[in-house]
Amino acid sequence: MSLSPRTSVGCRACREPGIAPEFTMAFQPILDSDSGAIYAHEALVRPVGGGSAYDVLGQITDENRYAFDQACRVKAISLAAELGMRSLLNINFLPNAVYQPAACIRATLEAAARTGFPVTQIVFEVTEDERSRDAKHLMAIFNEYKRHGMRTAIDDFGAGHSGLNLLAQFQPDIVKIDMALTREIHTDRVRRTITRSIAQMCAQLGITVIAEGIESRDEALCLRDLGIHLLQGFYFARPQLEALPPVAAGALEGLRSAFPLRTPLALGAH
């Protein structure tokens, strides 16, 4: 039987995965502003010893893309287990580095089994503007992840031009609204209208919404008013290398002064 170009490349990638650059992970919490508890942590690529994600991503080529994508999954899961993470773990992935979904998920499953990290706590994020070779391939990846009990997310929703088309073809568990829409949203009627529409649409589709890039109390309160209670950004906590940073007490108090939380502040809930 002849192999398709994707299959042959995938097999070669497994045999000759290339060498991924050295890196580690920083973690940033996603807050459930209804309860004050941590809903999830996003794993973010960083150079060993600190620095920008771009210092690592700039070293990714077609030759080492597969190895890097696989290494990111293993590193994120291993660190999350080591740190005792009890929340969801959000991992970004590169769909063009996944050639055969059932085969490329093996390292993820093995890392989870080896560390004892539940696969049901894993969320795989793909950015709206990440160019997959074809939509059917991306849907196959998402379906394979869901088959194993993992969740899926579209990141940076609203930043690109393909979000609604992608959403029409596949409904992920989570949509993360890009900071291009949330920044200074309390001063911008147009951004509020668009964001409210996204929240309402996702609610009707049964999709959880997270707003990212939150840098002020005003932005957080405005998003709360629009019906979005899962929030991520520097206002709550900056990413921290190989650690689970606490949510800033001042940020939580700032929210609590405007509305009552369902439960006492859960500063230690990781």
Start-end of H helices in the chain: 5-15, 53-57, 65-82, 101-104, 106-115, 135-147, 163-169, 179-182, 189-205, 217-225, 249-256
Q: What is the model's pLDDT at position 166?
A: 78
Cα–Cα distance, 188 to 41 (Å, whole number): 29
Is it the case that residue 53 has pLDDT exceeding 80?
Answer: yes
pLDDT averaged over every residue in the chain: 86
Tell me what pLDDT residue 8 has: 40
What pTM value is reported for the model?
A: 0.87
Q: What's the pLDDT at 178?
A: 93
Lowest mean pLDDT among 7-21, 98-112, 153-167, 247-261: 7-21
CA distances from 67 to 41, 62, 112, 192 (A): 23, 10, 18, 40
Read off the pLDDT of each residue in 238-249 and give the average, rounded to a whole number. 95
Region 71-97: what's the mean pLDDT? 95
| pLDDT score of 1 | 30
CA distance 94 to 98: 7
Could you tell me the domains of the chain?
5-256 (3.20.20.450)
Q: The tokens of 102 are what?
A: 């059932």
Do 81 and 117 touch, CB atoms closer than 8 A?
A: yes
Given a cut of 50, whether residue 264 has pLDDT beyond it is no
Reply yes or no on whether the pLDDT at 139 is more than 90.
no
E strand or H helix that includes residue 263: none
pLDDT mean over 198-221: 96
Q: Using 50, 70 and 90 to split pLDDT, how confident is the model at 15?
A: very low
Collapsing DSSP states into helix, strand and coil, what is residue 39? Answer: strand
